[in-house]
Structure 1
């Protein structure tokens, strides 16, 4: 695990990529980012393919050693979070024990710094790379394991592989869109985000693939078509809403669905998806996760755990976002909520 993350860190430092300037944070500062995530994703895929074709290494090894790798990921996450705590407090000229247990725990959990960087690599943006490339690699390992055990790839796992690899590839294609998110602009980087990146996303979100390795029952054609339609709808909502928000933040005059954008006070977008619901991007992503889970059928709750977790997490996050936006925009946010009363499902919620 450390070798994988370390190799990606070195590659993030050395592999060229397009430079993007982030939006201004609340304190007015801006950062520049080298967004080479897509190149690292392709490079990792090429290395894995070469190793598999030359019988140097099989991705199925990940499945055989899944427990050990999971344990190593947890150790790494705690080590990184501890290093961030120590370096962050030192940069702020604070003692490691200052503030007492409550302040120490808060700084360890949520982080001390907003934009920590090591050797010129922004750690918050970097950590999405081992997170999502790791998710893709684990899922590919499930496909190799099924092939080695059963000499074929069953339809449910194949569909799951296509869905998840498209999701990861699209994230890196749209990597610049992360620069306009609250997570990157304002959230501090501590154990909560580190553990989410290095453990939760690659290991928990891959549970449907783990479950499908030894499930060979074919999917009916109608079910496959329905799942593809669900995935396409979710993708349209998720990526479309996020792309509109990012474009508006970069250029408030950019057209939305071919028309000039309608705004409130020039600050809040009420065109496109953002005129239909305040968090349709969450709705779309939730549909994607259910499309990942449904190929597993209904024999076990295990493949549905990620989707069920997000079913509770996204409404909670939508309420949290409402509170933050109300504090930031004041009366303007109240006008927006009156104009767009629905959060995730128009006319329902």
Structure 2
């Protein structure tokens, strides 16, 4: 830790601010001006209107991938500097998340006050410490928008594309250090690129996620997007830089099979539910979707288990961690953390569904008897 603190100085922090802010602003401008399909949300806002989103993430992700590839091949440009500025960028990302939270809080409160014109008693209640903390942590507004860009949906761009660039920087560092990119590093890079590309290919599915449709945009989501995802989810890359000995082919095949199946399960289950929500008669596994009273899907993966999408997500991150071997538990902190997070979330989801659907949910549980692991859990 002392070495880290000594390596951080004002000049490098200023460089990191320029890199981080420039990157985020550039992505925001791209999200604003790049063409994209306009998608109208199924969910109605408080004023009776339906939220519209411009989906251009796949174009943006493809453009960034293309520019990085061309810059590397033609101009010998390197992303190793991202790895070199990791700690400075981490500090800046935390500061940026705090600043963004405060700006959204003040702007949201101002708009609320203009709309509701509260009396003095209401004002005193609004500035109570508990409510202040809650508003900062959870957010004030559901869908804050700047210049026509939904900020909560936009936050996925610096989060995921930033994660992709940080992951790629590890390969550049390994190549510049050892003159080669190891097989396990290639697996790490391909796994992450495929994961991100599939997210953007099915970007529309993100619009039915709980945080998009129901959670306000505050520090919890902002910090998760800008700090947790890029700087924690990339943790395995640190352990691959110095691993240049080849992996046994049997282990490579096993890791690839785990990854492919898990990604298929994760994306497939989410896509099935999204298609059913859009069109109850959509085909799933080649047949019209079956459901309980048109509310609960029992076709495809959702007829096998109630939260198999969570199982697939954990499997994806486990496969990525396995590329580092078994010498340290640190790369496995991500799948282990997700196990606890998603198991608890699945329990909360079921409590909410049981309250919403009543006996119909019990009927569904009788049909899809397993939660996350068939015959075990």
TM bucket normalised to smaller: over 0.9
Cα contact 1:23–1:179 (8 A) shared by 2: no
Decide whether the 8 Å contact of 2:314 with 2:338 is kept in 1. Answer: yes
* Deviation, structure 1 residue 183: 1.7
In 1, Cα distance between the equivalents of 2:74 and 2:99? Answer: 34
Count of residue correspondences: 349
Q: Distance in 1 between matches of 2:246 and 2:352?
A: 46
Matched, 1:75 2:75: no
Offset at 1:185? Answer: 1.0
1:42 counterpart (57, 62, 71): 62
What per-residue deviation string (whole Å, max 9, x for no partner) do you get for residues 173-230 of structure 1?
1101111222211111111111110011111000011211111121110001001100
> Equivalent residues in 2 for 1:88-237 (5 A)?
88-93=108-113, 98-237=126-265
> Which whole-Å deviations, capped at 9, do the CAs of 1:74-98 have from their partners, x for residues lacking one?
1111111111111111111176982
Is the radius of gyration larger for structure 1 or structure 2?
A: 2
Q: Superposition RMSD on alpha carbons, in Å? A: 1.6
Structure 1 unaligned regions, length at least 5: none
- Structure 1's 150 and 312: CA in aligned 2 closer, same or farther, altered over 3 A? same
For structure 2, which runs of at least 5 residues remain unmatched after alignment? 1-19
Change (3 A) 1:185 1:258: same
Task: Kindly state the Cα deviation for residue 260 of structure 1 after the two structures are TM-superposed.
Answer: 2.1
| TM-score normalised by length of structure 1 | 0.96
In structure 1, distance between residues paired with 2:218 and 2:135: 7
Cα distance, 1:51 vs structure 2 = 3.5
Secondary structure of 1:24's match?
Answer: strand
User: In the alignment, what sits opposite 2:33?
Assistant: 14
Aligned partners of 2:315 and 2:337: how far apart in 1?
13
- 1:194 and 1:328 map into 2 onto residues whose CA distance is 29
Tell me by how many angstroms 1:246 deviates: 0.3
Task: Calculate the TM-score normalised by the size of structure 2.
Answer: 0.89
Deviations 1:316-349 (A, max 9, x none): 1101111222232233222222322321011111
> How far, CA to CA, are the matches of 1:281 and 1:347 in structure 2?
16
Q: Is residue 303 of structure 2 the alignment partner of residue 284 of structure 1?
A: no
CA contact (8 A) 1:97 1:104 kept: no
Is contact 1:38–1:169 with CA below 8 Å preserved after alignment? yes
C-alpha contact (below 8 Å) 1:8/1:130 kept by paired residues: yes
